[in-house]
Structure 1
Amino acid sequence: MNPTHATANRVDPVTASVIRGALENIAIEMGYKLMRMSYSSIIRESEDFGAAIIDAHGNQLCESIQSTPLQSGPLPGYVRGIMKQMEERGDTIEPGDVILHNDPYGGASHGPDVGFVVPVFHQDQLVGFAVTAAHHLDIGALSPGSCGIVDAMDAYAEGLQFKAIKVYQRGVKIEPVWQMLRDNIRTSKLVVGDMEAQVAACRIGAQRYVELIERYGLETVQHAYADLLDYSERLMRNAIAELPDGDYTATTYLDGYLDDPDPAKKHLPLTVTLKIRGSDMTVDLTGTSKQIDDKPINMPLEGTVDIAIWLTIRSILLDSDVYGHIPQNSGLTRPIHLVVPKGTLANPIFPAPTIARFCPGNQLADTVMKALSQVVPDKVSAGIGNLRVIAFSGLNNETHWVHMEIFEGAYGGRHGIDGMDAIDTLYANTRNNPIEDLESHLPLRINRYELRTDACAAGQWRGGLGSIREFTYLEDGGASIEGEGHAYKPWGFGGGADGDTASLTLRKADGSECAMPSKMPYEAANKGDTFIVVGPAGGGYGDPQKRDPERVLADVLDGFVRMDEAREQYGVSIREDMTIDWATTEALRSRAD
């Protein structure tokens, strides 16, 4: 049974609701089990993983609430990629199998996001898959780590590739595959331990799904989730149908490789046109830059591009503050159609490298937001401050250590709400790593972690602030960096000011400093060297002259806005005793009008 068309309810609403809750709890349990069994902070603390139940046709039924969208969203693509690979090889899926997959041209998000899939059988019938994906701290690439790799010449330079590889067959562990993992990954105990945790979490999910089927019957469960997919589709169709038909286009730019002499590798456009017709929306990326054949900022169409688009549309049109809990499943994507020319950054041709697709994908999501601002201005935020990933690493005797740190961006202001400060944006809702956890496990010291006070985009609702962090090496090591937003400011909306760019500085142990580009291949660092990481600030929303003067005063008291900026940008006069001069403020704003 392949539920692909909306129909009348097949199961009574109470039973369907109970089954929906049970499915969601299965995914949540998988997520918590994975977190508790994992070895690395990227899973345990940052929660950079996904867990879901997928039906036998590749439809997502539920996902773990702890998941980041960039991990949970691609999981149906992992399953479809696996089924396609196995069909082409003439292989079969059997009870007791566990399948390993990370092919970015076969549904996976990128190579380090490794998926493990356990097929679920009921009375010898394949009824679905329990799936987890998680980011791993090393995948055997050119340099240590699995993010920050920005100089891979092709897909083969990005690390190990697994295309539907069985690591268990009919319940028997395939030891040579596991040994290959241990032999080719720098931090093998950590990574293989996380992989084994993924397998265990999938098996728990498979067991719970079978128990659900045995309790209610296969047909009832299938009909219940068919209704669930149809319900999610109706929600999205109704939201699209409320929008005016038309074409809405927006363009933003990637830094690319700012220090590269080749102009084709920097200042790269991302163009999005939303074509709304009734309850259907086509997202056309014609006009986006051509792919870069030998640099890994290309984005997999399935696993990154589609997720960036779907997540942004869903979060804007079906805001959970308005709609409450919305079932996360494949029904939400049915009314949204993608047109993405091949050979572009958003639909590269193999073997173009893709491992550094994280920041470009987030910028694509921001471009979708910018296009939506023409249709639903009261629901979008102004431009976001993009994120950055640094892979810190070192070698202690013969043992590597690797740490991946995701540095926050900031949201732009939105109607009625100031932009959120120092937060992972759009499709990357991972948490930060506690300083105490980091310093207790790694030869790094965090000297500074605070909000910026030099960049607050003016608006009726101000832009969010980026953060500043300083990392000092306590022993020799190195780092590689993947980032964006050094050349282009986050866009302001409706009269709001543009945000501010990011920066990165390497301060050597001798006190000398060097400004670094947004993308830096692996560079050695000595004991005492410090990375100073300044995050971008989001754009402002609306006319600053309309901002509540009391809010302006609060920003001055917090150190986010200077008194002269309050006067010049907001038309608010603040006395030396830190009170508002209302008469002068009214005069300033009258002149501005």
Structure 2
Amino acid sequence: MNAIELAIFANRINNVCEEMGAVLRRAAFSPNIKDRLDYSCALFDQQGRIIAQAAHIPVHLGSMAFAMRDLVEAVQWQAGDMVVVNDPYLGGTHLPDVTLIAPVFSGSQLQGFVANRAHHVNIGATSPGSMPISSRLEDEGIVIAPSLLVRKGTLDQRLLSQLSDDRPVARGDFLAQLSANGVGAQRFEQLVSELSEVGFNDAVAGLHNYGNRLAQAELAKLPSGQYQFSDCMDDDGQGNTDVALQVCLTISEQGILADFTGTADQVAGNINCPLSVAAAAVFYCFRCLLPSYTPACAGVFDVIKLAAPEGCLVNAQRPAAVAAGNVETSMRLVDLVLGALAQALPEAIPAAAQGTMNNIAMGADGDQPWDYYETIAGGTGGHAQAAGLHCVQSHMTNTLNTPIESLESHFPVRIRRYQQRLASGGQGLHPGGDGLIREFEFLAPAQVTLLTERRRHQPWGLAGGGPGRCGENTLNGEPFGAKQQLSVQAGDRIAVATPGGGGWGTRE
């Protein structure tokens, strides 16, 4: 297969992922999927190595790229099967992210897999929105080991009812995921049929080889050496503060090693994460250094290795709670790796972005139960070429905001303020981007959980630039903690003021 044919092949399989995402979005019931786009789609080869992904959510896709191989080896696949899983210690991220995987056969020969991962706002946790202030994995909801949701083309209605708790919205989201994989598998089969099994496998091998060569060539331009950086998480929600993060990047002719030795042990709270989530953050940082035409295949990531002591914060062991590890610690790991890379590439790396997803989950039980979850945007860091961006989702999340009209039409909530948080970005030659303020007024009693970071430690600047402002959470104007679960009454207001990004450089 020549270079032009390989480029066409790469675009065709990427388009399969894009079509899967379009089906999932349009068929989903929940605002979290259809409006916020909290989902991801990807294709994998026979060994479970990623070969294509849409431009969806980095923390989903990087973790799947890291862990899918072990997951697919544990199942005896048959045509028409579809497996559901959310176990963070078996290839998942956190329990709300539910993954559906379908094999693709050509005759009796397994050719690869299609998969999608979507965030479910109710996965059976102890609090509405399934993002609790937890200390055990079991408190965070139903733990789904790899299970056949579809066996030889027949849907297990009993399992679907258990997973969705017979809630129409949840059931609809699961059916949307099934449909997305169905479309992906059809397109995959068509491509194999067109190219032949041998031709398709040759194309996949060529893609991995090309991606590996390209990554090696580009990363070889990085200055060799060891680069260390330290940071810390604000707290774990269970009384532990200033939880240490440490990385040492070794760049050599052999490739990249990200060693997290020195990072704190796993903690009582839920900011722990499995190694697959740490891998997603590392892969993301180095992928940002590669050309835009780099294929999204496993060959690209073969040059990057991870080391982390078992039982540390970023290689947590069962039954550690992980709900915030996927959303908060992953963001801070990006800061950590970029902080180390800034020593090697001072003109190419931006200052810290907001360093949090500002998670807010809410809902109520009763005659008309409801659940809602969202992440809230903030500022990105300034860099050598320009100022940071205002009020955007960054790094490990690639979701949209929920439109106010959608939120208010679905739930007993009113948005009182949604505005730029002026002067929250760090000062500098190229200032950091501003965060925002989003204020919720509750029209009925509800339970609310916030999982946030950068409320105590500011996003750092670079090259003499100033730090971004810390975020702040308030209830009726009174500040409260970064990680908090509380009851609200009709008329209460919660405002989330998100951090700005760090500034870059000093003004003349």
**Fold match (TM-score > 0.5):** yes
Among 18, 24, 34, the alignment partner of 2:24 is 34
Per-residue CA deviation, residues 132-186 of structure 1 (Å, 9 max, x unaligned), is: 1011101001111123x22x22122211111110011111222221221233x7x
TM-fit CA distance, 1:383: 1.3
Which letter maps to 2:272?
A: N
Which letter maps to 1:342?
A: E
Among 86, 92, 98, the alignment partner of 1:114 is 98
The 3-state SS of whatever aligns with 2:375 is: strand
Partner of 2:250 in structure 1? 275
The 3-state SS of whatever aligns with 1:73 is: helix
Partner of 2:371 in structure 1? 402
TM-fit CA distance, 1:74: 2.5
Partner of 1:46 in structure 2? 36
The 3-state SS of whatever aligns with 1:469 is: strand
1:13 aligns with 2:14: no
Alpha-carbon distance in structure 2 between the residues aligned to 1:306 and 1:399: 40
Per-residue CA deviation, residues 234-284 of structure 1 (Å, 9 max, x unaligned), is: 2221122112211100011101147x5x5xx11011111100112501000
Question: 5 Å matches for 1:544-583?
Answer: 544-545=507-508
Question: 5 Å matches for 1:235-314?
Answer: 235-257=214-236, 262=239, 265-292=240-267, 294-302=268-276, 304-314=277-287
Among 415, 419, 431, the alignment partner of 1:446 is 415
Alpha-carbon distance in structure 1 between the residues aligned to 2:425 and 2:278: 30
TM-fit CA distance, 1:84: 4.3
Greater RCO, CA 8 A, separation 6+: 2
Partner of 1:55 in structure 2? 45
Following TM superposition, the consecutive aligned residue runs of length 4 or more in structure 1 with deviations greater than 4 angstroms are none
| Contact 2:96/2:130 (<8 A) preserved | yes
Partner of 1:222 in structure 2? 201
Alpha-carbon distance in structure 1 between the residues aligned to 2:308 and 2:274: 11
Residue 384 to residue 434, structure 1, CA distance change in 2 (3 Å): same
Alpha-carbon distance in structure 2 between the residues aligned to 1:372 and 1:72: 22
Residue 539 to residue 38, structure 1, CA distance change in 2 (3 Å): same
Question: 5 Å matches for 1:113-152?
Answer: 113-147=97-131, 149-150=132-133, 152=134
Alpha-carbon distance in structure 2 between the residues aligned to 1:57 and 1:182: 30
Alpha-carbon distance in structure 2 between the residues aligned to 1:410 and 1:232: 32
What percent of counterpart residues are identical? 31
TM-fit CA distance, 1:289: 0.8
* More off after superposition, 437-446 vs 30-39: 437-446
Return the TM-score normalized by structure 1: 0.83
TM-fit CA distance, 1:208: 0.7
1:182 aligns with 2:164: yes
| Contact 2:282/2:337 (<8 A) preserved | yes
The 3-state SS of whatever aligns with 2:89 is: coil
The 3-state SS of whatever aligns with 1:253 is: strand
TM-fit CA distance, 1:515: 1.2
TM-fit CA distance, 1:369: 0.5
Alpha-carbon distance in structure 2 between the residues aligned to 1:373 and 1:47: 31
Alpha-carbon distance in structure 1 between the residues aligned to 2:105 and 2:198: 14
TM-fit CA distance, 1:77: 4.7
Alpha-carbon distance in structure 1 between the residues aligned to 2:255 and 2:423: 43
The 3-state SS of whatever aligns with 1:296 is: coil
Partner of 2:392 in structure 1? 423
Partner of 1:582 in structure 2? none
| Contact 1:243/1:375 (<8 A) preserved | yes
Among 317, 320, 337, the alignment partner of 2:305 is 337
The 3-state SS of whatever aligns with 2:173 is: helix
| Contact 1:75/1:133 (<8 A) preserved | no
Alpha-carbon distance in structure 2 between the residues aligned to 1:59 and 1:84: 11
Among 62, 75, 94, the alignment partner of 2:78 is 94
Alpha-carbon distance in structure 2 between the residues aligned to 1:421 and 1:329: 31
| Contact 1:154/1:352 (<8 A) preserved | yes
Alpha-carbon distance in structure 1 between the residues aligned to 2:241 and 2:24: 39
The 3-state SS of whatever aligns with 1:46 is: coil
Which letter maps to 1:284?
A: D
Partner of 2:438 in structure 1? 469
TM-fit CA distance, 1:80: 2.8
Partner of 2:488 in structure 1? 525
| Contact 2:59/2:330 (<8 A) preserved | no
Partner of 1:83 in structure 2? 72
Alpha-carbon distance in structure 1 between the residues aligned to 2:164 and 2:422: 46
The 3-state SS of whatever aligns with 2:113 is: strand
1:158 aligns with 2:140: yes
Alpha-carbon distance in structure 1 between the residues aligned to 2:398 and 2:407: 19
Which letter maps to 1:360?
A: T
Per-residue CA deviation, residues 359-392 of structure 1 (Å, 9 max, x unaligned), is: 1110011110000000011111111112211002
Structure 1 unaligned regions, length at least 5: 1-10, 87-91, 508-512, 546-593
Per-residue CA deviation, residues 94-128 of structure 1 (Å, 9 max, x unaligned), is: 11111101110011111111000111111111111
Per-residue CA deviation, residues 20-75 of structure 1 (Å, 9 max, x unaligned), is: 2211111111010101000111111111111111111011111123x111222233
Among 348, 359, 368, the alignment partner of 1:389 is 359
| Contact 1:391/1:405 (<8 A) preserved | yes
Alpha-carbon distance in structure 2 between the residues aligned to 1:182 and 1:30: 21
The 3-state SS of whatever aligns with 2:145 is: coil
Alpha-carbon distance in structure 2 between the residues aligned to 1:206 and 1:75: 18
Structure 2 unaligned regions, length at least 5: none
Return the TM-score normalized by structure 2: 0.97
| Contact 1:48/1:71 (<8 A) preserved | no
Computing the radius of gyration from Cα coordinates, the structure with the larger value is 1
The 3-state SS of whatever aligns with 2:369 is: strand
Partner of 1:482 in structure 2? 451
| Contact 2:379/2:425 (<8 A) preserved | no
| Contact 1:435/1:446 (<8 A) preserved | yes
Alpha-carbon distance in structure 2 between the residues aligned to 1:390 and 1:324: 33
TM-fit CA distance, 1:288: 0.6
Residue 285 to residue 310, structure 1, CA distance change in 2 (3 Å): same
Alpha-carbon distance in structure 1 between the residues aligned to 2:506 and 2:377: 26
Among 293, 300, 310, the alignment partner of 1:325 is 293
Which letter maps to 1:307?
A: A
* More off after superposition, 408-417 vs 226-235: 226-235
